[in-house]
Structure 1
Amino acid sequence: MTADDLLALLPILVHGGLCIVTMLAIAVRRHHATIAVLAAVSCLLTLASLPVAAAAAPHAVTALVMIDGYALLYMGLLLAATLVVIALSYGYLQLHFEAHEEFEEFYLLVLLATFGGLVLVSARHFVSLFLGLELIGVSLYSLIGYLRIRRGPLEAALKYLLLSASASAFLLFGMALMYFQTGTMAFGRMGGALGGEAPALWLAGFVLALVGLGFKLGLVPFHLWIPDVYQGAPAPITAYVATVSKGAVFALLLRFVGDVQALQHGALGALFGLLAAASMIAGNVLALLQHNVKRLLAYSSIAHLGYLLVALLAGGSLALEAVTFYLIAYFIMTLGAFGIVAILSREDRDADMLEDYRGLFWSRPWLAGTLTLMLLSLAGIPVTVGFVGKFYAITAGLDARLWFLVLLLVANSAIGVYYYLRLIVAMVEQPVWIAGRPASQLEMETGWTTVLSLGLMVSLLLWLGLYPEPMIDFIRTMVGPLASPVAAIPS
């Protein structure tokens, strides 16, 4: 390891070291507020190390990891989202645990999952890919089932365990076939070894690996247990799974597809198109049938992954920009929506039914207004970041002449407006009364960290919806040099 290697790896090293510090702090003294603050400071310090690492970027650290603008941008996105999840989790955990329960390890598991995400977004080799993916997965098993006093989280954790095991099996088998065909596990070298034509064995391996990643992303038809996981997991962890976990995997998929030049093979392009169409249609149609808000948002996320695949299929620099901007928009909208779910949750269960939101406007107008903005943005209404993200995806699709997929994207966005509006209408209806108070008032007290987080999400949603040019320019600068020469990858 050289000094440049250590400098490039600084965010990963800092975050890994702070995970150890957090673990030792828990062993020395258990105190909820102290460990929560330490977890938040860990993310902030890692964020502060990103500009330092940028001085050495782009830099390949062995054949396993590439630290470039693309990796650093996604590291910043994952760390910022983790900060929001930590802020949402503090009050939620205090509400859902008895005084004798211990929940400091919750924050350690969140940090470890984010550590896996940092490895994943910088991976350029199957070994680092698998290590990052398993770090996220193993941490999430425990986080999803952390509320062991309730049946729902335990069932969701078991289903996620089986889902992740299936994903790993497909992924490993696909990796073995691709390695057998090309003799390398480095993405860039694999693309160079294939040349312009991919043998059937390598294509079979790629499809199996894509199935494994499809399970993690919840793409149709690998989505069947994803709504169950969303429904059963604690609300802050549902937000984490929907954003940090999926965002890291999609960032890895985008780099992998580009490095091996998968879209140059017509069969793989058709497969991605089929997955995009199926995810958009099934996600939106099934969301129409939901009365559970967390399941509704789960099917909505499946549809949004389909929109992202349309942008990915466009290929080239415009696709990179469109996918990255859309993911940033998706993070903002999803964290904001699940943040409201976490605030409205009660001791015995999460606020995941439509009735829990009936009349919210009359009891807590600022919460209703925040959720309304998030839902309108998810629907792609103008003046929100969601509209700009969908416009960017449509532009990338039109530029690549993906006429059919673009038409599907527009049509499914129109379908999505209905179920988002159904929740908005419920919030302005007359409230349901329980014990002399509106049901929507029976939530926990809103702490200042939660208010700050939601305020930041609303500000970003409107700012990037009205004035997205600075963010677009920043994204263009960071992801532009993604396609680095294969020769730069050390053996």
Structure 2
Amino acid sequence: MNSSQLWALTPLLLATATVVAVMLTIAVKRHHRLCALVAVIGTNLALFSVLPAVFGGNTEAIAVTGLMQIDSAARFGMALVLATTLGVLTLCHAYFEGFKKNREEIYLLISLGTLGALTLACASHASTLLLGVELLSLPMVAGVAYAFDDRRSIEGGLKYLILSGGASAALLFGIALVYAQIGSLDIGAMANAIVGASADQPLVLAGTAMMLSGLAFKLSLVPFHQWTPDVYEAAPTPVTAYMATVSKLGVFIVMLRLFHADSGAAASPFILSAVVVIAVASMLVGSVLALRQNNLKRLLAYSSIAHFGYLAIVLVVPGEASLRSAGVYLATYLVTSLGVFGVMALVSSPMSDRDQEDIADYRGLFWRRPYLTSILTAMLLSLAGIPLTAGFIGKFAVIAVGTNSAQWLLVGSLIVSSAISIYYYLRVLSGLFSAVDKGSERVSESLGWAQSAGGIMLLLAMIAMLWMGVYPQPLFELSGQLALH
């Protein structure tokens, strides 16, 4: 391994060192704040090691042992993964401060999952893909069941373990079928096989279908979405935030590599038809089922199903414009989702018997926590795609790709789904500003939350969200690095 390859791997090496450092810290002395500090410092170092290449526009592709390729897309993906992970870690300290059992292992689990997401961002071989998927998924099984004295958490962890295992098995079998046809485990070769798949290549079609089902499970796409509401509800709020953002980000980058071949051509019509059906179903099913939810976590779970249905449009349309739009949408979705779950985490902090997750818990929140309510309001408006927010820019970018390629079914479904989503977001918003009970006095909010790392992160997330919505040009320029060919 030469120096350029070693330097390119620096973010992964630092992420690995962070895992080891947190593990040793727990072994030497259990201290919640110290473990949080070690995890945050390690993640910051990994992030700072990749940012110069991202903002410097480094487009050099460096192959590492045939298993990884550190290109501009990998660097952009790693930057998003590390920045979002840092946001989740800052929420964990305040949230788990009230947890009565061991609190330190949560930082180890999140650090391990982050290493898996980074591996997926750089994967160029099927073995690296499988390693990244398992390294990302298995720690989250323990993360969902972290409150092990809560029956609901144990149930959620078991559901995720069993169903995730089935999805991984389908992914592995699909890879084996494609390999039997083309004789290569290189992701680029698989992508080219997906482009040329036809009726006389049943192994490639069947293998791609199984790979698509396995990856669609990780992204909560219909009909592989059933686990999402239950697991989101069962997990501690920071873990839910991680699963809604970082876990899906790493998998989606792999999907982009598989569906955007080096030739720049679209996938086989057989496969594209399946993706279109999955995308339309995810948009409509996610939005319709969110209408009847009284639990905010479950509502956001169905909302995430719809959002990745929107994002699936870029899998259907080849070209650099599509990839740039994917980068824009991912960035806007990550910062917005992190903001929503961040407010939920701080409202629920320190962790007690249960999270503040019912919509009724947020009724009249403005009169108790006006500053947090302002952030939550802005983030929900962004999820709804209201102009001057990041969410509007993300949806606009995806709609532009769909209209330019005449994907009218997908664009129409996105518009209908977005219209439905406005109702259930406004339903939450109306409760935030509802009048308090007669005789109740307005409670002034202490700004102690804003002095915590989680509070500072929320303020930065809201500023970033508004900046993306008002002045998105730099984001479009940075997202151009997601080009894979």
Answer yes or no: same fold by TM over 0.5: yes
Q: Distance in 2 between matches of 1:428 and 1:194?
A: 50
Q: Distance in 1 between matches of 2:293 and 2:193?
A: 47
Residue equivalent to 1:465:
469
Residue equivalent to 2:398:
393
Residue equivalent to 1:219:
221
Q: Distance in 2 between matches of 1:12 and 1:213?
A: 22
Q: Distance in 1 between matches of 2:253 and 2:354?
A: 33
Q: Distance in 1 between matches of 2:12 and 2:301?
A: 30
Q: Distance in 1 between matches of 2:61 and 2:428?
A: 45
CA gap 1:194/1:376 in 2 versus in 1, 3 angstroms:
closer
Matched position secondary structure for 1:66: strand
TM normalised by structure 1 equals: 0.93
RMSD of aligned residue pairs (Cα, Å): 2.3
Shift of 1:197: 4.5
CA gap 1:193/1:400 in 2 versus in 1, 3 angstroms:
closer
1:267 aligned to 270, 273, 276, which one? Answer: 270
Shift of 1:354: 1.1
Q: Distance in 2 between matches of 1:49 and 1:39?
A: 16
Residue equivalent to 1:487:
none
Residue equivalent to 1:293:
296
Q: Distance in 2 between matches of 1:9 and 1:301?
A: 31
Residue equivalent to 1:352:
357
Shift of 1:56: 8.7
Shift of 1:145: 0.8
Shift of 1:431: 3.4
For the Cα contact (< 8 Å) 1:332–1:457, is it kept in 2?
yes
Q: Distance in 1 between matches of 2:332 and 2:47?
A: 19
Greater mean deviation of Cα atoms: 276-285 or 57-66: 57-66
Cα deviation, 1:428-455, whole Å, max 9, x if unaligned, reads 1123699x8999989x966511110110
Listed as ranges, the matches of 1:143-292 within 5 Å are 143-192=143-192, 196-198=196-198, 199-259=201-261, 263-292=266-295
Give the AA of the match of 1:29: K
For the Cα contact (< 8 Å) 1:8–1:53, is it kept in 2?
no
CA gap 1:359/1:59 in 2 versus in 1, 3 angstroms:
same
Matched position secondary structure for 1:263: coil
For the Cα contact (< 8 Å) 1:379–1:417, is it kept in 2?
yes
CA gap 1:432/1:90 in 2 versus in 1, 3 angstroms:
farther
Give the AA of the match of 1:131: L
Shift of 1:259: 3.0
Residue equivalent to 2:30:
30
Q: Distance in 2 between matches of 1:90 and 1:216?
A: 27
Matched position secondary structure for 1:18: helix
Give the AA of the match of 1:473: E
Give the AA of the match of 1:277: V
Cα deviation, 1:227-282, whole Å, max 9, x if unaligned, reads 00000100000000000001111111111211387833111111110000000000
Q: Distance in 2 between matches of 1:338 and 1:224?
A: 21
TM normalised by structure 2 equals: 0.94
Matching of residue 44 in structure 1 with residue 44 in structure 2: yes
Residue equivalent to 1:475:
479
CA gap 1:203/1:332 in 2 versus in 1, 3 angstroms:
same
1:454 aligned to 417, 441, 458, which one? Answer: 458
CA gap 1:432/1:143 in 2 versus in 1, 3 angstroms:
farther
Cα deviation, 1:444-480, whole Å, max 9, x if unaligned, reads 966511110110110011000000001111221x223
Give the AA of the match of 2:213: V
* Structure 2 unpaired stretches of 5+: none
Q: Distance in 2 between matches of 1:191 and 1:255?
A: 7
CA gap 1:194/1:110 in 2 versus in 1, 3 angstroms:
closer
Q: Distance in 1 between matches of 2:142 and 2:265?
A: 35
Residue equivalent to 2:62:
59
